[in-house]
């Protein structure tokens, strides 16, 4: 009797907790303010402590990484040697290509960030969870950073700010698939929506009018259409594959991001907010 | 200070700080141990399904504060881990270290899987991939190792006499 009463209580407790979790998920999905505020407050409190602990743990972390990543480091070293040799031969060709690229970008009107002010930041840590899709930057609201501002490197868009405290901000990476970005294909009238695939630096672009001629090798940049959370003309990546569905009059593309998301050290937050 | 709830708050706070500041820096295949999940599992093993559920839920909420995934996913994950640990421990007729480690491995894996599945249901389809298996394996193995000290800590929070009193109520 007591046992059945007890198991009944356990079931009720578990059900109530599950309902609470679903309620929290719903509130967060609707962009509830208090949850964001609490997350920011926790970030503010923990960041300095985390920095101190990171400094103390640094030698141990390096030893750990060298122990578990030695195979990868060897492969990476060999790859870098090969690449170095190849790059030496490419220097001359690249200097010419760079000049041509600059001319091309000017021609199609991509000023990159242009006159929009940016905040230069340092990446202080990667993901806390195991479904890592975030970076932590060493500057926050005291430097003018706000939620949803775009984050770029010298190569292109990498993500957007999702959490801000006074001296820290958290960036959700574009490759993670947690948000979408409107893009246009440079040199064409094609526009579409790109989203991360959860893999490294690869995006899937969809909703492209199949009547628009999109070719492999074209450049995708943010479209900046009305209501877009990103300014226009931030380079995103190169189109690596195009698939056309004639029945649906729609094309989908694969995009390889320009920005290298591995071992990011610095990133710029573009102080841009959508109009209205 | 004598009340289990206060002790668990101290334990969970410490685990959250260690997770944020220290544990995430040590990764294998890009995956780190999950101390908060270990605490949930330990509570389930020591004090049963109900305590495991409550402690797991609170541990998950703490994790939710540290990550940018939808708020509440961690709570479900911790809840599942605590409940599974409590149920498995309750179903075993004898106690052995390998059995405890296996329970920790399975319940942590269940916690990670529920996180990924719920995330996928909420539109984060990228959460269900080969990476999920890696996370389950690394978190499961690390939980199987860390669960023994965590059980000692959970026994400090939930002394046996308090558990007995609760059982006969």
In a domain, B92, yes or no: yes
Mean pLDDT of chain B: 87
In a domain, B67, yes or no: yes
For residues B13-36, one letter each, b for 16 or more C-beta atoms within 10 angstroms of the residue's C-beta and e for the rest, the string is eebbbebbbbbbbbbbeebbbbbb
Asked if the Cβ–Cβ distance from B71 to A64 is below 8 Å, we say no
DSSP state for residue A155 in the 8-state scheme: S
Nearest to B133 by CA among B56, B31, B40: B31
Average pLDDT on B108-136 reads: 86
In a domain, B104, yes or no: yes
Per-residue pLDDT for B162 more than 70? no
Residues 126-155 in B contacting A (C-alpha not used; CB under 8 Å) = 126-127, 129, 131, 135, 138-139
In a domain, B134, yes or no: yes
Residues 11-40 in B contacting A (C-alpha not used; CB under 8 Å) = 17, 19-22, 24-28, 30-32, 34
Question: What is the C-alpha end-to-end distance of chain A, expressed in Å?
Answer: 64
The 3-state DSSP class for residue A160 equals strand
Q: Which residues of chain A carry a pLDDT beneath 50?
A: 109
Q: What confidence category does residue B59 fall into, taking pLDDT thresholds of 50, 70 and 90? A: very high
In this predicted structure, what is the pLDDT of residue B1?
54
In a domain, B166, yes or no: no
Q: Is the interface score ipTM higher than 0.95?
A: no
In this predicted structure, what is the pLDDT of residue B109?
95
In a domain, B168, yes or no: no
| Sequence spans of domains, chain A | 69-107
The alpha carbon of residue A184 is apart from the nearest alpha carbon of chain B, in Å, by 24
In this predicted structure, what is the pLDDT of residue A199?
63
In this predicted structure, what is the pLDDT of residue A64?
77
In this predicted structure, what is the pLDDT of residue A19?
94
Helix B4-21 and helix B130-157, axial crossing angle in degrees, nearest 10: 140
- CATH code for position B147: 1.10.1760.20
Residues on chain A touching B50 (C-beta within 8 angstroms): 9-10, 13-14
Phi, psi of A204 (to 5 degrees): -115, 125
Q: How many CB atoms lie within 10 A of CB A61?
A: 15
In a domain, B38, yes or no: yes
In a domain, B153, yes or no: yes
Q: Where are the alpha helices (DSSP H) in chain B?
A: 4-21, 35-47, 49-66, 73-91, 97-121, 130-157, 160-168
> A181 near A155, Cβ under 8 Å?
no
Domain that holds residue B68: 4-160
Domain total in chain B? 1
Residues on chain A touching B118 (C-beta within 8 angstroms): 25
Identify which of B17, B71, B112 has the shortest CB distance to residue A28. B71
Asked if the Cβ–Cβ distance from A25 to B73 is below 8 Å, we say yes
The alpha carbon of residue A105 is apart from the nearest alpha carbon of chain B, in Å, by 33
- For residue A39, give the H/E element and its range: helix A33-68
In this predicted structure, what is the pLDDT of residue A103?
54
- Whether A189 has its CB under 8 Å from any CB of chain B: the answer is no
């Amino acid at each position: 009797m007591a046992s059945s009463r007890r198991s009944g209580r356990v079931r009720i407790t578990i059900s109530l907790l599950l309902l609470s979790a679903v309620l929290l998920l719903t509130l967060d999905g609707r962009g509830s303010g208090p949850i964001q505020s609490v997350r920011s407050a926790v970030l503010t409190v923990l960041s300095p402590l985390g920095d101190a602990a990171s400094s103390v743990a640094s030698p141990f972390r390096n030893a750990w990484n060298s122990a578990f990543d030695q195979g990868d480091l060897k492969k990476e070293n060999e790859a870098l040697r090969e690449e170095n040799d190849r790059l030496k031969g490419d220097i001359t060709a690249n200097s010419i290509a760079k000049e041509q690229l600059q001319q091309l970008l000017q021609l199609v009107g991509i000023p990159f960030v242009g006159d929009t002010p940016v905040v230069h930041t340092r990446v202080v840590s990667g993901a806390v969870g195991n479904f890592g899709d975030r970076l932590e930057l060493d500057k926050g609201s005291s430097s003018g950073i706000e939620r949803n501002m775009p984050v770029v490197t010298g190569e292109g868009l990498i993500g957007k700010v999702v959490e801000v405290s006074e001296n820290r901000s958290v960036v959700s990476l574009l490759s993670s698939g947690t948000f979408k970005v409107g893009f246009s294909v440079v040199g064409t009238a094609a526009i579409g929506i790109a989203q991360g695939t959860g893999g490294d630096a690869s995006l899937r672009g969809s909703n492209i009018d199949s009547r628009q001629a999109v070719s492999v090798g074209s450049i995708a940049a943010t479209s900046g259409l009305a209501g877009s959370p990103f300014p226009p003309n931030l380079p995103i990546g190169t189109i690596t594959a195009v698939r056309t569905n004639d029945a649906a009059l729609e094309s989908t593309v694969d995009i390889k991001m320009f920005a290298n998301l591995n071992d990011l050290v610095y990133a710029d937050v573009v102080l841009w907010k959508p109009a209205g | 200070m004598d009340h289990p709830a206060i002790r668990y708050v101290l334990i969970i706070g410490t685990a959250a700080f260690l997770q944020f500041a220290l544990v995430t820096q040590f990764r294998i295949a890009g995956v780190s141990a999950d101390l908060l999940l270990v605490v949930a599992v330990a509570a389930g093993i020591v004090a049963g399904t109900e305590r495991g559920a409550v402690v797991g839920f609170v541990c998950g909420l703490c994790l939710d504060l540290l990550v940018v995934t939808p708020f509440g996913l961690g709570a479900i994950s911790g809840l599942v881990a605590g409940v599974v640990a409590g149920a498995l421990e309750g179903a075993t007729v004898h106690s052995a270290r390998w059995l405890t480690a296996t329970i920790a491995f399975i319940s942590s894996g269940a916690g990670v899987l529920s996180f990924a599945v719920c995330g996928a249901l909420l539109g984060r389809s990228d959460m269900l991939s080969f990476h999920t298996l890696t996370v389950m394996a690394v978190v499961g193995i690390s939980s199987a190792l860390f669960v023994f000290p965590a059980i000692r800590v959970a026994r400090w929070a939930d002394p046996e006499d308090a558990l007995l009193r609760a059982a006969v109520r």
